[in-house]
Structure formats: C-alpha cells, structure tokens
Amino acid sequence: MTSVLAWVAVIHHVWWGLLLVPVAAVFLMRLFMIQHDCGHGAFLPGKSVNDWLGRAIGVLTLTPYDYWQRAHAIHHATSGALDRRKIGGIDTLTVEEYRALPRLRRLGYRLYRHPLVMFGGGPAFVFLLQHRLPVGMMRDGWRPWVSTMVTNLCAAVLVATLALAFGILPFLLVYLPIVTLAASMGVWLFFVQHQFEGTFWARDGEWEFHEAAFHSSSHYDLPAPLRWLTANIGIHHVHHLASRIPYYRLGQVMRDEPALRDAGRLTLRESFSCVSLALWDETSRRLISFREARRIPRQPALAPA
C-alpha cells in the first residue's frame, strides 16, 4: 500500500513520492521477515499455508521462496561451522585463509567486505540479479529452477502491470529505490546478527549445533519501534535455537527468560563497530578487522615430512 501511495505521489509531485520510498522500503523488509518465518513453518499453523504465503510474498521481495528456504536451512544447519561454510551466509575467511590467497583474490575479498559493496551494491545485485537464477543449486534438480523461474515470471507480470498503470518513469523512480533500500536494510540485519566480535566459529571436532546456534547469533537489542518493524529478527540467538517460534512470540520468550537478554547482546550504537570486522582469528576465537590481522604474526611454514 505504501508503495502504491509513493507511485501516486510521484505522478503528482516527484519529491513527495520519493519521501515515501524509505517508508515503503521498511515495510517491504518487514514482509521479507514474514516470508522468513513462513520458511521455517512458523508464521501460520500448517506447512502448506506457510509455503504458499511465502511464495506469494517472494514475488514482492524478488526472493524465490523454495530456493531461498533451502539455502536458509543450510545456513541454520551449518551456522558457525568453519568446515561447512556453504551458501546461505556471508562469506567469512580465517586470517590464515586470507593470507594464503593470491593478491588479486585478497583484493576481491576486501572489496566484498567494503561497506559500499556489502550494504550498497551487493544487496541490490543479490535481490535484483542473483536471485533470478538458483545460484549454488543449479545442479540440484528441478525444484530450485522452478522456484526461481516461476517467481521471475510472476514478478515480471507484476512489474509490467504496475509500469503500465503508473508509467515507466514514475514506477522506476519508486520501485528500484524501494527494492534496493529494503535489500540493504535486510543485509545489514543479517550481517550484525552473525558478524560481531564475540560470534562463534569452530571446526567440526569442536562444533556442536546448539552451542553454535546460540553463540554464533547476536541479540540485536533494538528500540521497540525497530523491533516491530524488523519482526523481532534481532532476537536471533533464540531464533537459531528454536526456529519454529514465530516472531510474534519471541518477545514473550525474552520476558519469560531474562537470562537470554544479555547473551550476545548488541545495541544499535554498538552494531556500527561490526562493519570493520572481516576475518576470523582461530587463535583468539573472535572476529577481527584487516588492521588487527596485520598485527598477528604469521604462522611458520611446516617443514616437509
């Protein structure tokens, strides 16, 4: 509804329409959080109704539901597992892995981790372009392909209808900023939920699901209005422990179990310090910046046997 108001406003006065873009983007992001709950079978009773609602929302968020659901399940199953870093998460290298890369690939990783890429062009690329193909699952059978292609077709019909109704230029002036801004906000939330200094990573011999679920996820303790707008996604440590709890019950869990409040707690102000963190130091068991990594002595090369 906010998007429609923005398009109508743009037709009459471009600046009024553009002022509504951030509002529409926030609500689109909230829709994605509802889609996220549907993917866990948590938003409504019954798997089928969750799935079909999630697929419908996926057309609006440009996120193929069944493909994303599978990738997100991999993320939950491997969160914090250094030996099983697959799709569904933010690429994170250890200090030694980064040092072992050729110079050009180190540069690529640094660019990937740059805030302008991570929270600017990167999210727009993922939601507008990368999600048009089942990247990471292109050889995993027909289901990821059906999910992405049907979502693409439905989104194309919706986009064409709205462009014809409001005009191509007013539509693009509103639609693209809404999608890119919502994508950036969503990636920011996902980033600070796992990319904080005290997060958890371990090799398979030391990795345990419940410990990893709880300690690799932060409690992003946002002010009440932001908690509502983000559908309590900041209570991420509890969500990873019990993903079938719907977002509208997570607040009650925190009230019933006060000890959960301080675990991995990250305030809005503190979260901005996470931006510089990029490498996992296996010795100190914490996420560090490139600058800190330069101060760590290199490990001596092992002599050949």
DSSP string, 23-51: HHHHHHHHHHHHHHHHHTT-SSSSHHHHH
3-state class of 123 per DSSP? helix
Q: What is the pLDDT of residues 66-79, one digit of tens each?
A: 999 999 999 999 99
Average pLDDT for the chain: 90
Residue 130, φ and ψ in degrees, nearest 5: -60, -40
Residue 35, φ and ψ in degrees, nearest 5: -60, -40
3-state class of 175 per DSSP? helix
Rounded Cα distance between 115 and 135, Å, is 23
The arrangement of strands across the sheet holding 93-94 comes to: 93-94, 277-281, 286-289
Q: Does residue 248 surpass a pLDDT of 60?
A: yes
Task: For residue 84, give the DSSP letter.
Answer: G
Q: What is the pLDDT of residues 126-169, one digit of tens each?
A: 999 999 999 989 888 999 999 999 999 999 999 898 888 877 87
242 Rama class: left (phi>0) / alpha (psi -120 to 50) / beta: beta
pTM exceeds 0.75: yes
